[in-house]
Amino acid sequence: MLTLYLRDLKLGIRAGGGALIGILFFLAVVTTIPFAVGPDLNLLSRLGPAMLWIGALLASLLGLDRLFQADREDGSLDLLLLASERHMLPLSVLVKCLAHWTASVLPLVIAAPLLGILLNMEPIALGAATLTLLVGTPAITFIGATGAAVAVTLPRGGLLVSVLILPLAIPVLIFGVSASYASVTDPAPFLPPFLILCALTLVFAVVGPFSAAAALRAAQD
């Protein structure tokens, strides 16, 4: 399992610059928004957490279709499926998701505070937004694995993955953004939405790999 994790991590970082493109996309999305809404710093600092979250959501959806497709092309997906008697398939999927998250989503989370400074966000809001991103983005990867597994046999599955997954990722977005805002605005408490966000991540960590494993098996026979 650790070997699988390291292998996927290395592949994700080295091969084709998938992770780097994700960060570039994130940067591009976040820097485009000030051009659209105008350079008013007050407005930007109010919109900041929402912009970071939308950028992270889109960027992590972008890379998802490669989660299983690359493995299917070189045949290692078949090996994983064959080994499912020794290693439970949902567990392998979970490990793959974690590796994908470390390689291509974690850099986004690290880059988020820098972008937040450019958006004139307060330090507390900055910390809160980064924390919610750290906790919330794995949920998107986990549930996205289901979409990626369903679309693995499709030649142009990338867009379909986003269409299928985006509705399911909306709760994550809602609670992530509301927790980030709650840290700045006074009456709203930070902890409840943040805890719900944690719960969502945990639920999706179970639902996602299991349904993805079922979908991979179904695509195989």
Partner 1 sequence: MPMSDTTTTNSKPGWFSALANPTRFIGLADRIIPVLAVLTAITLVVGLYLGFTAPEDYQQGSTVQIMYIHVPFAWLSMMCWGVMSLAALGTLVWRHPLADVSLKAAAPIGLVFTGLALATGSIWGKPMWGTWWVWDARLTSVFVLFLMYLGIIALTRAIDDTSRAAKAAAIITLVGAINLPIIKFSVDWWNTLHQPAAVFRLDGPTIDPSMLWPLLIMAVGFTLLFFTLHLTAIRTEIWRRRVQAMQRIAARRADGRTGGRSEGHVR
Q: Which residues bind partner 1 (CB under 8 A)?
A: 143, 146-147, 150-151, 153-154, 160, 163-164, 166-168, 170-171, 207, 211, 214-215, 218-219, 221
Closest separation in Å from C-beta 176 to partner 1: 16
Closest separation in Å from C-beta 164 to partner 1: 5
Q: How far is CA 154 from CA 68, 74, 220, in A?
A: 11, 16, 13
CA distance 25 to 17: 12
Closest separation in Å from C-beta 15 to partner 1: 27
Closest separation in Å from C-beta 126 to partner 1: 26
* Closer Cβ to partner 1, 24 or 206, answer by number: 206
* Closer Cβ to partner 1, 12 or 147, answer by number: 147
Q: How far is CA 68 from CA 46, 55, 59, 219, in A?
A: 38, 23, 17, 12
Q: Hey, which bits of 167-220 come out as E strands?
A: none
* Closer Cβ to partner 1, 151 or 184, answer by number: 151
83-67-198-88 Cα dihedral, nearest 10 degrees? -10
Task: Give the number of other CB atoms < 10 A from CB of residue 8.
Answer: 22
* Closer Cβ to partner 1, 27 or 154, answer by number: 154
